[in-house]
Amino acid sequence: MGIRQTGDLWWKNAVFYCLDVETYQDGDGDGIGDFKGLLRRLDHLEGLGVTCLWLMPFYPSPDRDDGYDIADYYGVDPRLGTLGDFVDVMRAARERGMRVIADLVVNHTSVAHPWFQASRSDPESPYRDWYVWRDEVPKDGPDGIVFPDKEDSNWQWDEKAKQYYLHRFYKSQPDLDIANPKVREEICRIVGFWLELGLSGFRVDAVPFLIETAGIDKPGDFAPHGWLRDLRAFINRRRGEAILMGEVNLMPEDVRRFFGDEDGDELHMCLNFNLNQAMALSLARGDTGPLLHSLQTQPSIAPEDQWANFIRNHDEWSLDKLTEAEREEAFKAFGPKDSMQLFGRGLRRRLPTMLDGDQDRIRTAYALAFALPGSPVLFYGEEIGMAENLDIPGRMSVRSPMQWLPGPSGGFSTAPPDKLHRPIVGGRKWGPSAVNVADQLRDPGSLLTWMSGLLRVRRATPELGFGKVSVLPVESGAVVALAHDWEDRTLLTFHNLGEAPVTVEAKPPGAADWEGLITVLGEGEAKLAKDGTVTVELGRYGHRWLNAARPGDVFRR
């Protein structure tokens, strides 16, 4: 894969940015974010250096799970605008060189969806077998409850149908029967529809649940992974550049399966929950052990596929793959109060509050996330160091309105704070008077200014998206030292997870032939000795990215 073709595999070097239209920018003063508002904020995203937006569900919905309960797959929630407003955003994003993907939530619909209403009301309805109905709760049903705060079973008795229906999430989200070919055909129509309107792919919600057949009475010859393969082939027939980014929070080997066999012909990307959770533990301990172990045992994927790396997302920071003792350690460091934890498995906080607003620590955490092999995904507000609002219940604590300006409604809306869709973060430390886009834009030392620099460097560093990563042994247990090789380029990245400043020595293979080192990110001394030893000084929670200067390389930075 040469530099000429990197654009063909755009997702391998993209910077994704996830946002919820509902909480991003209100354009009509009703307290709810909308597409008209988002349109006005695309310049911010372009300036930040985002290359692909990920829109959380914006479809008509009774909103019992923040839009992850869809009542119509072919429309826009009227509170957020119209299809016309959506297309305006698509057009303006394209004009600014940004792609757009959106959540595809087809494991389940809302109970309010007309399919479900027809299905439950009439055994003869053509939609009856679009859902999973059983006379009794079956023994072979799926295990585990996803939202144990509200649910104690995956089955709900329905008075109208006089049967139980399957729901892996809330009972207001009945599961579709994926083994039914008509359901699968409809999913293709849905993705085809949005591809036609310009989407470059989908973040596929809850993929393991979507393809599971446990609980389905007669799954017939449905082949779960065969179908994922078909879905990828379908979207790429319709639109060559379209991708599927899957939410697959399973153990590493099980996630690997969702990329497909050797040729990697199922999901193009998987959100990297394992590396994310290992990073949480490493950050909490100030010790690289868990992260490096995860990185070194991460299964390899096909050249056209990619990991999607992130620190925080729109849900709780799930630490379900850690051992109980490890999880307790992370809880103690980052969310000691019960009110900060959720489901016993995660933290409902954003990173800056967990790191007590420590700028060195915050920046090194993001630099590290961007240096891990894969493509980074930011969650809105991370670029300015927004906090969570723990007054908002459950997972929604991190989905408070974006903070654009100082002032009570943070420039999110002209409506007063008590009329906002969700309460904004309050207080003098984290509220909009202290944390907002406008002030940070004018401040060369702000997180936003730094973050835009990080994105600029990341975009110009295909070594990270396309290269081969190797761990460089160093003496300090607090420093992650990596070499990223791609084509004739090598990038070295150093991240100090510890409070103490440290000087490390590394010996990247072949470095004795280099002419020097060029700093692309971070500050401090860095030296290359004749024998190829690289010596790097790192401040407390410091980081450094260095490019190898090879003889005759005119493209060095």
Catalytic residues, by residue number, are 205, 247
80 Cα distance to chain centroid: 22
Q: What is the sign of the dihedral through the CA atoms of 485, 489, 492 and 493?
A: negative
Q: E strand or H helix at 291, and its extent?
A: helix 289-297
CB of 109 to ligand NOJ, least distance (A): 10
Shortest reach from residue 378's CB to ligand NOJ, in Å: 16
Of 20 and 158, CB closest to ligand NOJ: 20
Tell me the C-alpha to C-alpha distance, in Å, between residue 108 and each of 40, 112, 178, 187, 210: 32, 11, 10, 11, 8
Q: Which is nearer to ligand NOJ, 175 or 383 (CB)?
A: 175
Torsion over CA: 432, 438, 444, 449 (sign) = positive
Q: Which residue is nearest to ligand NOJ (CB)?
A: 68
The site for ligand NOJ (CB under 6 A) is made up of: 65, 68, 105, 169, 205-206, 247, 314-315
Between CA 74 and CA 93 the distance in angstroms is 21
Separation between Cα atoms, residue 57 and residue 74, nearest integer Å: 12
Q: How far is the CB of 274 from ligand NOJ (least distance, A)?
A: 17
Tell me the closest approach of the beta carbon of residue 498 to ligand NOJ, in angstroms: 32
Q: How far is the CB of 342 from ligand NOJ (least distance, A)?
A: 12
Q: Exposure string (b/e) for 473-483, b if CB count within 10 Å is 16 or more?
A: ebebebbbbbb
Nearest to ligand NOJ of 131, 466 (CB atom): 131
- What is the radius of gyration, based on Cα positions, of the chain? 24
Q: Measured from the CB of residue 66, what is the shortest distance to ligand NOJ in angstroms?
A: 7
Angle between helices 273-285 and 324-334 (to 10 degrees): 60
C-beta closer to ligand NOJ: residue 54 or 486? 54
* CA separation for the pair 174, 152 (Å, rounded): 15
CB 21, CB 93: distance < 8 Å: no
Joined together, the tokens standing for residue 527 give 């030296």
